[in-house]
Amino acid sequence: MGLTDLSVKIGSLTLANPLIAASGCFGYGVEYAGVVDLSHLGGVAVKGLFLTERQGHPPERIVETPAGMLNAIGLQGIGVHRFIKEKLPELRERRATVIVNICGSTLDEYVELSRILSDAEGVAAIELNISCPNIKEGGITFGCSLHGTFDVVSAVRKVTRLPIIPKLTPNVTDVASFAKASEDAGADAVSLVNTFLAMAIDVETRRPKLSNIVGGLSGPAIRPIAVRMVYDCHRAVKIPVIGMGGIASAKDVLEFMIAGASAVQVGTANFADPFIWSKLLDGITEYLNRHHIPRVSDLTGTVDTGVHAAH
């Protein structure tokens, strides 16, 4: 049992296991210290940070939809400086592998944020949020243009040695080309998917259910689309792919990894069950033992499509 190797590599970074808490679904990590041992997670992707504090959108900010939820939080946050001062020391002390999710309105802001974080002690990697569907300025304008993606990744590459993980939006026709642009620009990995731009309306009042009118769809509803996108990206690039979208069980983790993910993130499911992490790890271990697979990383990209069956 104990021989099962759950560790995975994301570029130069080794994670204890493939489970990462998804950005925006785990606060700054410290909120969960009372329910999970943060050092037992593969990583903690903290809530998207700007250079400065942000208020976010007025409520209503979430609404449940069939097998999923819409959110338009609007990236309320304390800004990178307060994060480093107020949250990072505790994360360090709890030996969390911290992935800082950053958002900028301009290319220079991404560069500045990366520079600041490179000097901070206790940051394992930078996840470039170029895919938040909920704010007008910046972010997604990079993530929806191949040039924009290439430019922001290469600019950040010049100022940091930390692993860079651009987080891709599914709201494009060919997500694999964005993974390729990221790889070409020097990214160490890509993560996907962020949420799908979506909308829900109260028919009695004819008002949108979110104050922001539109929001991002997450949860099991998006899982098959996300699995397909991870599969596409894995075939298009050599760098690791971090998969997410609706993961709620060990089986879902395995599905993403078999499709091509080297690690996964879990967002919405953590809201329903903050104790999900050990259940996922137990399920993964049980599967590896049952199939006599020594390393979880052996699973990545092993989907059998029949194409290579004939030697």
Residues in contact with ligand FMN by the rule CB under 6 A: 22-25, 47-48, 71, 73, 75, 101, 129, 132, 167, 194-195, 218-219, 222, 244-247, 266-269
**Closer residue to ligand FMN (CB): 67 or 293:** 67
Q: CB burial class (10 A; 0-12, 13-18, 19+) of residue 33?
A: middle
Residue 269 or 284: which CB sits closer to another protein? 269
Between 213 and 291, CB nearer to ligand FMN: 213
Residue 27 to residue 25: CA distance in whole angstroms? 6
Cβ proximity to another protein: between 172 and 264 the closer is 264
Active site residue 233: no
Q: How many CB atoms lie within 10 A of CB 166?
A: 29
* Residue 128, token pair as written in the block: 């470039």
Where do contacts with another protein occur on this chain (CB under 8 A)? 24-27, 31-32, 34-35, 47, 55-56, 59-64, 66-69, 71, 73, 76, 219-220, 268, 270-275
CB of 128 to another protein, least distance (A): 20
CA angle 165, 166, 170 (to 5 degrees): 130
Nearest distance, CB of residue 19 and another protein, angstroms: 15
In the complex, least distance from residue 71 CB atom to ligand FMN, rounded to whole angstroms: 4
Residue owning tokens 């769809």: 217
Exactly one of 25, 103, 132, 233 is catalytic; name it.
132
Cβ-contact 266, 20 below 8 angstroms: yes
Distance CA 43, CA 277 (A): 11
Going by C-alpha positions, the residue among 70, 72, 71, 76 that lies closest to residue 56 is 76
Rounded to whole angstroms, what are the CA distances from 51 to 114, 162, 254, 276, 280? 10, 18, 36, 32, 34
Closest-CB residue for ligand FMN?
24
Nearest-approach distance from CB 299 to another protein, in angstroms: 25
Q: What residues are annotated to the active site?
A: 132
